[in-house]
Structure 1
Amino acid sequence: MSPMACVDLDFDQPPAGGIDPNIPVTTTIAELKSRHVLGKNEEITDDVVLGALVISDDATGNFFKQLVIEDATGGIEIRVDVTGLGLIYPVGRKVYIKAKGLWLGDYNGLTQLGAGVDASGLLRIPSTLVNQYVISATYGNTVVPAVKTIDALSLSDVSTLVKFENVQFISAHVGLKYAEATLLGNLNLEDCARKRIIIRSSSYASFANDLTPGGNGTVVGVLGIFGTDYQLTIRDLNDLALTGERCTVTIDESFDNIASNANVDAPEWSNIAVKGTRLWQGKIFMNNHYAQATAFGDSSPEMESWLITPAITTTVPKKITFETAKAFYVQDGLSVWISSNFNGTDVTGATWTQLFPTLANSSSADNTFISSGDVNLTGIPGPVRIGFRYVGSGPNGQTGTFRVDNVKVTNL
């Protein structure tokens, strides 16, 4: 089990306010959650009592009728039909949960406690009954978030207070509204290894229309999950301290500014047809933008199209990472190359050396992006350019589709 936030229920710290009824605790949050099977609902019929601290706050509206609590073993969200929870159950308030009569359920993988079940799912605890199940104790207790890295999160971290260090909004999401409507309130944070996590904001949050900062630093929030995607929810803007210098990135292209079904036209990139006339095109699926090449429907006997990065200096050791996906696999149509003498227009006149990163292939699931892994550019005289080469043929049935996204070049 991974370390949780520092939740000391013995409170070996300066005295907190309020009176503790000292109700005997019978179960941990981790033990209670272990009773739940995703997609099912389970009634709690025995005398279960939890002791935990409140970590959520609805004062800004980014949490709504949700009370998230955490003990030393994990956290859980309680669905309640109450607003203004921060006035009654502020962050750091110790509570006891008398869970007998409540139900376990989940929403797209997020385990929750509620009052019952109907056709819509897990019900909120009615406002008139909340005090029956949630018993207030001391307040003003300190909860220290557990420091985590994006690539080492686990299910045991869900519904706990976490802190990420050396993170920043991806460049395409800097200066956007926190609850950017076109992105459904989902923005991306990244660390200096370019691992990403969604930071989700409600359109009802008081800071929904504030603009995201461009610096690097720390972010604290309650970790959630939606399907297989971890999500972070901040309580207010004080959970962010992004004022430092950004991680060094020489290329950070997620194709978010390209138009769907239009030829890719990104600054300083080259999009060139060597055979035939078809180029790499921009595509959008589920709000994700990417570059795509396919010979499907192309009448040219042969198609060879190159999507080539801007020049990359290598005086400081660098690496490149990217993601690829395939669909309707027919042929190994995608390969990756490097050149130190490409002039920006003449592909065939340049010298190219093939690279062998991990690429989507015949065994990859359709429409699923996979990481290339780190491709080390050390020792290659620069400046260099990386070329994504697609080959196919519509008349000959070589019509597999390949996609490229999230191309990043960073210092080693």
Structure 2
Amino acid sequence: MNIKTNSGFLIALATSLFFIACVKDNDYTVPQNLGVEENLKLEAILDSIQNNQLELKSIKDLKNLYNSGTDPVKIVSNIVVKGYVISSDAKGNYFREFYIQDAPENPTAGIKVVLNLTNSYNKFNFGREVYIRLKNLYIGETNSGDGVISIGGKIKLTDITEIESITQNQIENYMFRAPTTEVIVPKTVTLGGLENVANIGTFVRIENAYFSSNLAGKAFVDPSEDFDTKRQVETCEGPSVVTTFLETSSFASFANNGLPEGGGSINAVVSRDFRGDFTVLVLNTLDDLDMKNTRCTPLAIADFSTILLNEDFEATSGEINILDWTNYSEAGSKKWRAYDDVNSLSKATRMGSFRSGDESTISWLITKGINLETTGEEYVSFETSTSFADGSTLEVLISENWNGTVANITDANWVALPARIAANNDDFNSFKFSTFINLSSYSGTAYIAFKYIGNGNEDFDGTYELDNITIIAK
């Protein structure tokens, strides 16, 4: 009887493995080299996805369920998220957490996973494909408002606005490894574009980077710090120097190593510091630094004497109506308007959906066409601030093929530019400089667009302010 039962089980298992292996989408191939129990659990998850009993949700869509600073969201539906591990606690720079992103190369989103497990790199190694069944888990922040959206196991007893780790007992029932370990290719970004929320939780590469000159001879961690140390990183972007921070735990094995004094590249995970005040880079290992070259030098601003665009909104009032510019509401009732900024004591423009009552708000402010054929090198810059951005967003885009008519705005090809844009964490009393953004790879007549997205819901009805848009060129 035992022999017959075991044989039946093996036949059923083999049939199941054969069926799923024939699925066209290789993402759902059943692993063959994990433990039997873990293998069978993941097989059940993948089979349920194929049969539409579970929904495979993207990391981006999962993060959209939660707005930074609000109460954690308990997942009550049958959804699963898939990702690739991009952090490692092997060198002690991470503690009971790891990050996953949605693709091994060119990711669009990443998220932190907090779990009660040390040395997690032994199980969830760098590049490992992981599935997390989310029903009864939580989406939120471990430090409310820090901007690092995370997956956790429960709400913190001492603060109901924050989440705590997935327990070891939960790990066995909610987190599943695939046999695949992919090669993770860092996404090259500029320091100016680093603060884009889409980069939080992803593995990136910063080129032409170096540590601030006043850090010469210092270690990664300040010996007076108990936990983490932020060291300023700089890079040249056109005629300016842009800065951010590399954050290192005092428990990292390389905490006392000296900082490199040359220039080069940094591969790291993008995160935020404990209070959420700064976007930071976090290393996995010193092998992710290659800084043996000379430091970069910013271009001379005096060489960029040609002004292709200079708009400070001082001559505007009411809805923005500038010659050859476009102020267009794709959805909702709100458009960009001029206002007097009490902090800068000058005029600017702003857009927000506060109390609009609109289900959706999408509003475009597009510059006049800029001829990029008569100059050799061009940079655009601007300034932004917020009056509580909430869950609304502002992005700056460029198009080389828009024909200038409202009817074709959404049909044109618009590419996001890597600009620093003010966020909830920034001081609303002052404007934030975008950095100089290189336009030299674009040609013909180009248009720069500022696109606001929000709605009348109080979690998504923020306001953005915009001023001093310039394009300089050689």
Please classify the TM superposition score into its range, dividing by the shorter chain length: 0.5 to 0.7
Instruction: Provide closer, same or farther for how the CA distance between residues 224 and 242 of structure 1 changes in structure 2, counting only shifts above 3 A.
Output: same
Give the whole-Å Cα distance in 1 for the aligned partners of 2:279 and 2:121: 24
Give the whole-Å Cα distance in 2 for the aligned partners of 1:26 and 1:369: 40
1:239 aligns with 2:288: yes
Give the whole-Å Cα distance in 2 for the aligned partners of 1:367 and 1:44: 37
- Superposition deviation, residue 123 in structure 1: 1.1
Question: Greater helix percent: which structure?
Answer: 2
Residue 310 of structure 2 aligns with which residue? none
Say which SS state the counterpart of residue 149 (structure 1) adopts: coil
Residue 150 of structure 2 aligns with which residue? 112
Give the whole-Å Cα distance in 1 for the aligned partners of 2:260 and 2:32: 35
- Superposition deviation, residue 104 in structure 1: 1.0
**What amino acid is the match of 2:283?**
I
1:75 aligns with 2:116: no
Residues 320-359 of structure 1 mapped to structure 2, 5 A cutoff: none
Residues 11-410 of structure 1 mapped to structure 2, 5 A cutoff: 21=43, 23=46, 24=49, 26-39=56-69, 40-72=71-103, 73-106=108-141, 107=143, 108-117=146-155, 118-120=157-159, 121-153=162-194, 154-182=196-224, 184-193=228-237, 194-226=241-273, 227-248=276-297
How many residues align structurally? 252
Say which SS state the counterpart of residue 110 (structure 1) adopts: coil
Give the whole-Å Cα distance in 2 for the aligned partners of 1:239 and 1:46: 39
- Superposition deviation, residue 175 in structure 1: 2.4
**What amino acid is the match of 2:187?**
A
Instruction: Provide closer, same or farther for how the CA distance between residues 367 and 16 of structure 1 changes in structure 2, counting only shifts above 3 A.
Output: farther
Give the whole-Å Cα distance in 2 for the aligned partners of 1:181 and 1:243: 25
Instruction: Provide closer, same or farther for how the CA distance between residues 17 and 195 of structure 1 changes in structure 2, counting only shifts above 3 A.
Output: farther
Give the whole-Å Cα distance in 1 for the aligned partners of 2:434 and 2:206: 24
CA-to-aligned-CA distance 1:236-294 (integer Å, 9 cap, x gap): 101100001112379xxxxxxxxxxxxxxxxxxxxxxxxxxxxxxxxxxxxxxxxxxxx
- Superposition deviation, residue 105 in structure 1: 1.0
Give the whole-Å Cα distance in 1 for the aligned partners of 2:212 and 2:224: 16
- Superposition deviation, residue 113 in structure 1: 0.9
CA-to-aligned-CA distance 1:215-256 (integer Å, 9 cap, x gap): 111101110124352111000101100001112379xxxxxx
Instruction: Provide closer, same or farther for how the CA distance between residues 49 and 366 of structure 1 changes in structure 2, counting only shifts above 3 A.
Output: closer
**What amino acid is the match of 2:87?**
S
Gaps of 5+ in 2: 1-24, 50-54, 300-426, 437-473
Instruction: Provide closer, same or farther for how the CA distance between residues 44 and 209 of structure 1 changes in structure 2, counting only shifts above 3 A.
Output: same
- Superposition deviation, residue 213 in structure 1: 0.6
Give the whole-Å Cα distance in 2 for the aligned partners of 1:16 and 1:74: 28
Give the whole-Å Cα distance in 1 for the aligned partners of 2:176 and 2:87: 16
CA RMSD of aligned residues (A): 3.0
1:93 touches 1:139 (CA, 8 Å); kept in 2?
yes
Instruction: Provide closer, same or farther for how the CA distance between residues 17 and 91 of structure 1 changes in structure 2, counting only shifts above 3 A.
Output: farther
- Superposition deviation, residue 174 in structure 1: 2.9
Give the whole-Å Cα distance in 2 for the aligned partners of 1:155 and 1:373: 17
Q: More deviation in 190-199 or 82-91?
A: 190-199
- Superposition deviation, residue 192 in structure 1: 1.6
Give the whole-Å Cα distance in 1 for the aligned partners of 2:96 and 2:127: 18
2:192 touches 2:434 (CA, 8 Å); kept in 1?
no
Give the whole-Å Cα distance in 1 for the aligned partners of 2:267 and 2:110: 15
Question: Scaled by the length of structure 1, what TM-score is found?
Answer: 0.56
2:192 touches 2:435 (CA, 8 Å); kept in 1?
no
Give the whole-Å Cα distance in 2 for the aligned partners of 1:372 and 1:119: 38
**What amino acid is the match of 2:92?**
G
CA-to-aligned-CA distance 1:21-48 (integer Å, 9 cap, x gap): 4723610000000000222211000011
Gaps of 5+ in 1: 1-8, 251-364, 375-411
Question: Scaled by the length of structure 2, what TM-score is found?
Answer: 0.49
**What amino acid is the match of 1:101?**
N
Give the whole-Å Cα distance in 1 for the aligned partners of 2:56 and 2:435: 46
Instruction: Provide closer, same or farther for how the CA distance between residues 169 and 28 of structure 1 changes in structure 2, counting only shifts above 3 A.
Output: same
Give the whole-Å Cα distance in 2 for the aligned partners of 1:33 and 1:43: 13
**What amino acid is the match of 1:58?**
D
Instruction: Provide closer, same or farther for how the CA distance between residues 10 and 175 of structure 1 changes in structure 2, counting only shifts above 3 A.
Output: farther
Give the whole-Å Cα distance in 1 for the aligned partners of 2:201 and 2:434: 31
Instruction: Provide closer, same or farther for how the CA distance between residues 157 and 366 of structure 1 changes in structure 2, counting only shifts above 3 A.
Output: closer
Say which SS state the counterpart of residue 101 (structure 2) adopts: strand
Q: How many percent identity over aligned positions? A: 28
Give the whole-Å Cα distance in 1 for the aligned partners of 2:139 and 2:81: 14
Give the whole-Å Cα distance in 1 for the aligned partners of 2:435 and 2:285: 35
- Superposition deviation, residue 140 in structure 1: 2.7
